[in-house]
Amino acid sequence: MQGAVTLNPPVDCNRCPRLATFRQQNRLAFPGHHNPVPSFGGLDAALLVVGLAPGLHGANRTGRPFTGDYAGDLLYPTLLQQGFARGSYAERVDDGLTLENCRITNAVRCVPPANKPTPEEAASCRPFLVAELAAMPQLRVLLALGRVAHEAVLRTLSLRLPAYPFGHGAEHRLPNGLLLIDSYHCSRYNTNTGRLTASMFEAVMHRARQLIDEENAQCAA
């Protein structure tokens, strides 16, 4: 029987047998790697960025979401550009970078083989996202990076997928008042193929910034 769910899985999490086995194999092959990877940023943030899962030699190595992953080379500079981060990104946890009014998490917290978690594994990890959303009282905007993250958010909130179709730049006002914004995942594949450009990603992040600033202004009025 599994214990109470916290915000992040324990280091010996066994909810997903395949991922637990893969984690142990990687610990033997790459001593010092981190897995599961905890979320990054404060719980008082207005923006929650939801990714897919840690990369084997990126976040799994550094212990910080997207840090050392190719996707982080686009994500973190864009967060800095839009005022959601301070400092500089250097692909390591001691680079001094901090998040501002932003938190980053993953739908699945352990590295999956071939970067593809199964639906069952996503479901097993979902209670951590449930707990995370419940612990963020100032949350206003969810930014889903990719369809898997988009569906994870909807399932976490017990919402019907067909009612909120995924699409890059799509915006969905959810019943609880939160706004869900979609983006193609900032992966190497998507950027190399041109499916996602830096300007496309910057536009989505700018929209998140704009919406949060608008809501802050309304609250202050």
Instruction: Go through the domains of the chain in sequence order and give each one's CATH number.
Output: 24-220 (3.40.470.10)
Per-residue confidence in pLDDT tens, the chain, 221 aa: 344 558 889 988 999 999 999 999 988 998 888 789 999 999 999 999 999 999 998 999 999 999 999 999 999 999 999 999 999 999 899 999 999 999 999 999 999 998 899 999 999 999 999 999 999 999 999 999 999 999 999 999 999 999 999 999 999 999 999 999 999 999 999 999 999 999 999 999 999 999 999 988 877 76
CA angle 189, 162, 15 (to 5 degrees): 65
In the chain, the amino acid numbered 115 is N
The reported pLDDT for the residue numbered 2 is: 46
Those residues with Cβ within 8 angstroms of residue 139's Cβ, 6 or more apart along the chain or in another chain: 45, 46, 47, 48, 133, 178
Closest-CA residue to 204 (of 116, 145, 121): 145
CA angle 192, 197, 199 (to 5 degrees): 160
Residue whose entry in the numeric block shows the structure tokens 């594949």: 189
Distance (Å) of CA 6 to CA 101, 125, 190: 21, 11, 33
Those residues with Cβ within 8 angstroms of residue 147's Cβ, 6 or more apart along the chain or in another chain: 166
How many C-beta atoms surround the C-beta of residue 183 within 10 A? 27
The reported pLDDT for the residue numbered 142 is: 98
